[in-house]
Amino acid sequence: MDRRLFLGAAGGAAALAAPALAQASPEIRWRMPSSFPRNLDVLFGSCERLSRRVAELTDGRFRITPFPAGEIVPALQVLDAVQGGTVECGHTPALFYVGKEPALAFFTCVPFGMNRRQMAAWMRYGDGLALANEMFAAFNCTFMNFGDTGTQMGGWFRKEIKGLDDLKGLKFRISGFAGNLFERLGTVPTQIAPGDIYPSLERGVIDAAEFIGPYDDEKLGLNRIARYYYAPGFWEPSSMGGFIANRPAWERLPQQYRIAVEVALAEIDTDQNARYDAWNPPALRRLIAGGAQLRAWPREVLQAAWREAHGLYEDTAAKNPQFRKVWESYRTFRNEQYQWFRVTENAFESFAFSEAARS
């Protein structure tokens, strides 16, 4: 073969390969507003971790820039911005948007729902993820779970809650479907963005507030205003974050970029909860040392909340076919998980935790 012909052919192949490679792995930049402020370093930190991992997995060709709440999009308007294509993706709990569709609550948490492990099972091996994307398709979005907090605390109260009467007329910051439950219990629920909880509690706009747990609550300084700290957050036995992407933008992404996002989210799903499990215990000790009064919910409140929660589910399902469809799947899976965990996890924990406390 003529050497010049060979070199010419090789050079031509290289020239063709480079643009083809660039076309297969284009440089893409996305913006991702979060519903959480920067100082919540686990929640917003998960956004930063997602950004780093996606860049690493795509050799820097796909970059997602996270923005804290309020910097480019208000905390409670992330879904609206993604839906309209103002930004390509967002980090936000689905329960912030129950006013648009009550069934969205199931993709964060609901009162007396599933814990983190049970939710992961429903999302991966039950109907959860498919139902979530069916719901979010109505908002021109695709959805994936984005970390979890585990079981949350029950919030900060200026006065002690000794029974149901103490809830009457209480102005309580609480998010999602749980607000509807507490309304049935006699409180005045209000949804306030995380960054606005402290000033609202300080000014007396609200009497009590729930957020996540000791590590984040300490950062928000809620213990400086309300001293009674209740457990557990029975309306948030888990609290799953949401990665939402504008559907057309997601579908235009090269497959390897979509896989990179999925891999990063799977890593965060384990890492975020591990951080909370590691950092909540010492934070709780610091809060108690600083004067916080740890309290358990009175049984009267828990029993009334259970009845009202399930009455609320049935009432909403009777009026909303979308809600009924998700609730039936969720309830069936939850009840089976409850039975299994009674045999294993609960039996072990009830003995081991009480013995450890005595030793």
- Residue 335: CB atoms within 10 A of its CB come to 11
Strand ranges for the chain from DSSP E: 28-33, 62-67, 89-91, 141-148, 155-157, 171-173, 188-190, 208-209, 228-231, 240-246, 293-296
202 is in an annotated binding site: no
Whether 63 maps to a domain, the answer reads yes
236 is in an annotated binding site: yes
182 is in an annotated binding site: no
Torsion over CA: 202, 165, 213, 306 (sign): negative
So what's the pLDDT on residue 16? 40
115 and 105 in one domain? Answer: yes
Largest Cα–Cα distance of the chain, in whole Å? 96
**What kind and span of H or E run contains 271?**
helix 255-289
Q: Which domain holds residue 233?
A: 155-237+289-326
Cα 164-170-171 angle, rounded to 5 deg: 145
254 and 145 in one domain? Answer: yes
Q: What's the total number of domains in the chain?
A: 2
273 and 142 in one domain? Answer: yes
So what's the pLDDT on residue 23? 61
Whether 344 maps to a domain, the answer reads no
| % pLDDT > 70, the chain | 94
Mean pLDDT of the chain: 93
pLDDT in tens, 21-48: 456 789 999 999 999 999 999 999 999 9
Q: Any idea what the CATH number is for the domain that residue 80 is in?
A: 3.40.190.170
Whether 349 maps to a domain, the answer reads no
Whether 146 maps to a domain, the answer reads yes
Whether 358 maps to a domain, the answer reads no
162 and 217 in one domain? Answer: yes
pLDDT in tens, 287-345: 999 999 999 999 999 999 999 999 999 999 999 999 999 999 999 999 999 999 999 99
40 and 55 in one domain? Answer: yes
DSSP characters for 93-148? -GGGGTTT-GGGGGGT--TT---HHHHHHHHHHSSHHHHHHHHHHTTTEEEEEEEE
R_g of the chain, CA atoms, integer Å? 23
Whether 173 maps to a domain, the answer reads yes
Whether 108 maps to a domain, the answer reads yes
The encoded tokens of residue 232 equal 């557990």
pLDDT in tens, 167-194: 999 999 998 889 999 999 999 999 899 9
Torsion over CA: 181, 187, 188, 190 (sign): negative
So what's the pLDDT on residue 22? 52
29 is in an annotated binding site: no
pLDDT in tens, 279-289: 999 999 999 99
315 and 187 in one domain? Answer: yes
Q: What is the model's pTM?
A: 0.90
Peptide bond into 111 cis (omega under 30): no
Q: Any idea what the CATH number is for the domain that residue 170 is in?
A: 3.40.190.10
173 is in an annotated binding site: yes
Residue 225 · residue 202 · CB < 8 Å = yes
3-state secondary structure of 293: strand
203 and 254 in one domain? Answer: no
DSSP characters for 189-207? EE---GGGHHHHHHTTS-S
Q: For residue 136, which of 108, 113, 110, 112 has the smallest C-alpha distance?
A: 108
136 and 39 in one domain? Answer: yes
Map tokens 């480079």 to a residue. Answer: 18
140 and 50 in one domain? Answer: yes
Q: For residue 307, which of 175, 184, 189, 187 has the smallest C-alpha distance?
A: 184
306 and 268 in one domain? Answer: no
Q: Is the pLDDT of residue 357 over 80?
A: yes
54 and 164 in one domain? Answer: no
71 and 52 in one domain? Answer: yes
Whether 16 maps to a domain, the answer reads no
